[in-house]
Structure 1
Amino acid sequence: MSNQEPLKQVGHPLEPLTTGEIIKAVAIARKEKGLTDAARFEQVGLYEPEKSVVLNFKEGDAVVREAFMIVLDTSDSQTYEGVISLTDEKVVSWTHVPGVQPSFLFEEYAELEETVKKNPEFHKALEKRGITDPSLVMVDPWSVGYFGVEEDEGKRLARALCFVRKNEGDNAYAYPLTGLLPVVDLSTMKVVRIEDSGVKPIAPMDAEYKPERTDKIQVRTDLKPLEITQPEGPSYEINGHNIKWQKWDIRIGYTAREGLVLHTVDYEDKGVKRPILYRAALSEMVVPYGDNSPAHDWQCAFDAGEYGIGQLANSLERGCDCVGHIDYFDAVMATGNGDIHRIPNAICLHEEDYGIAWKHTDWRTEDVEVRRSRRLVISFFTTVANYDYGFFWYFYTDGKIEHEAKLTGILNIGVLEEGETPKYGSLVAPQISAPIHQHIFNYRIDVNVDGQQNSVQELNTVASPPNFQTNRYLNSFHAETTTFKTELEAQRRVNLETARVWKIINPNKKNFVGEPVGFELVPGENASPFLHEESSIMKRAGFIKNHLHVTKFDRDQMYASGKYPNQNKGGDTLEHWVKENRNIENEDIVVWYNMAVHHIVRSEDWPVMPTHYIGFMLKPHGFYDGNPALDLPRPAAIKGTSCH
């Protein structure tokens, strides 16, 4: 596409970049900045406009389009950030960012594997393990983290986890070459060294999970069909990336780093469109491992910032990943070479029945009123090497929002000597140990509860003091409310003993009983990290110490781990931003929430982990005047029965 070729017009400032816009942005950057073939495009995406532009936009207004890109020059491992005006066809800004490494490029996965498998020293290491056919070896890139290794400074590196199939088509993750860790310079695609902590045996048992490849799995034959039909079609409407369903008005986006992004989530209440969220997405996922062996003691993945979960998303299949009436959205990104990386059916949209919305039976009159709940589901799934993650946003007919992460896939494991017992992991099969680890998900929730001026309150329930006059039966308890004023005050942890929740309010808007309108952030499953303060991980991801942070809005503070966590020693993260201790009361604020899966691995998690569910809820608390689901229609009863 030439720079003069007209682009398809988009109807909203937050529409993701189109294929043509990505190609054009790359072409403008190549021409104006003289980029050579050594330039690799880590990302090319929408440069999101200022909030004022978005919130004041009216249909039919002119849309100014800009692209943001991160470019790595592989000739010298230097990184550049560019903003490209697609409207004016020029480079608006071009900034050298010294001392950082962008996340892995999609192409580097295959290039690293090929590089390692061709290396003569690697062949010798395989021969020590009795492996003569390198074609059976599988190699996955892993981020090296930061441990102050002088010879690694300034290089773009990855460690390679190695596995071997006993036969073609085997589940290679069942046969790790524990302790064999080639280190690769990704810019030059050369093996810089091979770390080898000693030969371990090959796992003695297979771990097939495909019934057609093993006689150990007898497929069930007693499951009858379960059909989900919507003969009149879905209840939602789609216009570009804008979705309207029931009273919800939701705009979605997609980035190579975050995957699915929620934009401008509104709810129509009594004929008025009321804003709730401006932007919400996964900010980072930190996965520290607790095993102290040389094979694992360095492992801590930053799955969003180091790997880009958006670029690793699955193409979803109807009837497999999503059932019922489905609509899909493709994800369009740039490849490292500046071409197009398209993931068909990356985002799934559908409706689900969700049981009883509300019900009451008057036992005196036998009058029964019941309404059924329904939810809108917007989701995507991504595969980061061995693990698979699903991210689901649910919108309900009673005005609440829920997020759920789903974890499945194959465990990261190591091989033990016969008779060896793991201290820092669990035996999932003979001589196979899966290290204890955590998955800590951080979400950036840019709130907009009835407007941009919001505050956060903490509610702790306490038992009232014993007092004959005010608590004579010693049964009184009540919630105490604290409003956070500054960022340092708002570093908080979940507390089951006080049933702690956090409430996001607009102090300038009152509901019908005279209280500030608000939404409650209700925690679900959670845990705290078990890492020493001086560890490399905590220096890079100290924000995981607390479950909640609240910051004053800053458009440059998008990711809790900073813009460039790959090989970063730490310093520009959420933990450091809050030290500015800005005012967060009645301000444009961002809520950051950490939730953690604490995984003491079970034998039932092998060879493929049953899906683990974890999430949180944004539940209206004083936002609506009464139950917003009162107007749901009575369900249609099955013939011969009655719902009322």
Structure 2
Amino acid sequence: MVSTMNLVLFSALLLFSLQTVVSVTPLPFQHPLDPLTKEEITLVQTIVQRKYPTFNNTLSFHYIGLDDPHKDTILKWESTKPTITTLPRKAFAIAIVNTQTHEILIDLQTKTILSDNIHNGNGFPTLSVDEQGVAIELPLKYGPFKESVNKRGLNLSEVVCSTFTLGWFGETQSSRTVRVECFMKESTPNIYVRPISGLTIVVDLDLLKIVEYHDGGIIPVPAADNTEYRLSQQKPPFGPKHYGLATHQPEGPGFQISGHSVSWANWKFHIGFDPRAGLVISLASIYDLEKHKSRRVLYKGYISELFVPYQDPTDDFFYKTFFDAGEFGFGLSTVSLVPNRDCPSNAQFLAAKDGMT
């Protein structure tokens, strides 16, 4: 299923966040850097599943995105001011087939696989939403974990869990495993302030089973006092009363959107979306008022990675050395923007698809 998220464009200023943007329906004119459409993502999945039928293969997709044409090719194409797409359109997919990581290049026009290589080097694909969903349910059905919960006097129905990547500490060989931590959701909207500490739970994502469990002893779960942060639950002077802001645009918005291309003031740029990188800005140029012509200031820009090492040597934290983009995906982590909460009521939205959820 292809998930849908929202992006907002302000009238006075174009504001982007990691929660971005592609068009829902295929465009009559498709820019070669346009992100994959819903139909193209489905086509990729169909082509790969045709080669590796799921009735006799274990198959999971961990990345499906546009395989960008070379920069020189794009610049040459752009210089001709084309009205039709003349460049080959390709997709790149990362899939795990029977525990092996495949890097697959697909020609979307001929609907054929151009290459299918097995990755044998370091590293693993981005975590999928589906496998994480299975992993966080495993402790709730695991006998030793339920015993640990009972020993602490906790209510199992109030327990929720989350996956955490393990990091790398010099091992020559490693498997696709994650740590699962569990929390108490009782009496708080912020589960992370109420961890069930002292437990080590390791899940093998290929086997989808708990392969290591250790109870290091009872550590009291922090109380839920003063952990409420939702505006609707705040008391004066912090909330819930707040004042609105009205915006009037008699001549309409100050920007124009054509497909995935945006013009605002003297700026022009292309908007892309990627499951790993999230928002991608390409071909950004500004009109130079002194030279009376546009000049390129950015060919392509996105957040390549966000590294978060906790650097806490205790058992519950030492392994937390997150690569947010590579391990979890900025695009996969996007959420919907809400008018009058995250953005003005007159915001204009475009949809984004990650193809993984």
When normalised by structure 1's length, the TM-score is 0.48
Alignment of 1:415-454 (within 5 A): none
Contact 1:267 1:274 in 2 (8 A): yes
Partner of 2:32: 13
Offset, 1:226? 2.6
CA distance in 2, matches of 1:109, 1:221: 35
Q: Does 1:42 align with 2:65?
A: no
Partner of 1:104: 127
Partner of 2:178: 158
Match for residue 140 of structure 1 among 162, 169, 190: 162
Q: Match of 1:117, as an amino acid?
A: L
Offset, 1:329? 2.0
Partner of 2:304: 283
Q: Match of 2:221, as an amino acid?
A: I
CA RMSD of aligned residues (A): 2.3
Q: Match of 1:70, as an amino acid?
A: I
SS in 2 for 1:333: coil
Q: Specify the structure having the higher radius of gyration (Cα).
A: 1
Cα 1:15/1:127, change in 2 over 3 Å? same
Contact 2:331 2:354 in 1 (8 A): no
Contact 2:201 2:210 in 1 (8 A): yes
Q: Deviations over 1:7-52 (max 9, x none)?
A: 7654210011111111112212222455655111101111001112
CA distance in 2, matches of 1:242, 1:11: 11
Alignment of 1:124-203 (within 5 A): 124-131=147-154, 133-148=155-170, 153-167=173-187, 170-203=189-222
CA distance in 2, matches of 1:109, 1:87: 33
CA distance in 2, matches of 1:123, 1:221: 39
SS in 1 for 2:136: helix
Cα 1:108/1:236, change in 2 over 3 Å? same
Q: Match of 1:111, as an amino acid?
A: V
CA distance in 2, matches of 1:33, 1:165: 41
Cα 1:211/1:68, change in 2 over 3 Å? closer
SS in 1 for 2:183: strand
Partner of 1:325: 346
Alignment of 1:506-517 (within 5 A): none
Match for residue 89 of structure 2 among 65, 68, 88: 65
Contact 2:165 2:322 in 1 (8 A): yes
CA distance in 2, matches of 1:314, 1:231: 31
Match for residue 240 of structure 1 among 237, 248, 259: 259
Q: Deviations over 1:140-168 (max 9, x none)?
A: 10001123568xx442110012111334x
CA distance in 2, matches of 1:144, 1:16: 31
Contact 2:275 2:330 in 1 (8 A): yes
Q: Does 1:118 align with 2:129?
A: no
Offset, 1:181? 2.5
SS in 2 for 1:228: coil
Which 5+ residue runs of structure 1 have no aligned equivalent? 1-6, 336-340, 342-644
CA distance in 1, matches of 2:338, 2:245: 17
Q: Deviations over 1:526-568 (max 9, x none)?
A: xxxxxxxxxxxxxxxxxxxxxxxxxxxxxxxxxxxxxxxxxxx
CA distance in 1, matches of 2:141, 2:203: 12
Contact 2:159 2:185 in 1 (8 A): yes
Identical counterparts, % of pairs: 32
Cα 1:126/1:50, change in 2 over 3 Å? same
SS in 1 for 2:214: strand
Contact 2:232 2:240 in 1 (8 A): no
Contact 2:232 2:239 in 1 (8 A): no
Cα 1:44/1:110, change in 2 over 3 Å? same
Contact 1:11 1:59 in 2 (8 A): no
CA distance in 2, matches of 1:297, 1:221: 39
Contact 1:211 1:217 in 2 (8 A): no
Q: Deviations over 1:306-330 (max 9, x none)?
A: 1112111011111111125322221
Cα 1:201/1:279, change in 2 over 3 Å? same
CA distance in 2, matches of 1:222, 1:17: 42
- Count of residues paired in the alignment: 323
Greater shift in the superposed pair: 63-72 or 290-299: 290-299
Offset, 1:332? 1.1
Offset, 1:182? 0.8
Q: Match of 1:86, as an amino acid?
A: L
Offset, 1:124? 1.7
Contact 1:230 1:325 in 2 (8 A): no
Structure with more strand by fraction: 1
Q: Match of 1:120, as an amino acid?
A: G
Q: Match of 1:330, as an amino acid?
A: A
Match for residue 321 of structure 2 among 300, 323, 335: 300
CA distance in 1, matches of 2:32, 2:244: 44
CA distance in 2, matches of 1:91, 1:97: 16
Cα 1:266/1:185, change in 2 over 3 Å? same
SS in 1 for 2:125: coil
SS in 2 for 1:13: coil
Cα 1:230/1:212, change in 2 over 3 Å? closer
CA distance in 2, matches of 1:149, 1:55: 43
Partner of 2:283: 264
CA distance in 2, matches of 1:204, 1:277: 49
Alignment of 1:445-594 (within 5 A): none
Relative contact order higher in (CA < 8 Å, ≥ 6 apart): 2
Alignment of 1:615-634 (within 5 A): none
SS in 2 for 1:284: coil
Match for residue 113 of structure 2 among 63, 70, 91: 91
Offset, 1:273? 2.3
CA distance in 1, matches of 2:192, 2:208: 24
Q: Deviations over 1:374-426 (max 9, x none)?
A: xxxxxxxxxxxxxxxxxxxxxxxxxxxxxxxxxxxxxxxxxxxxxxxxxxxxx
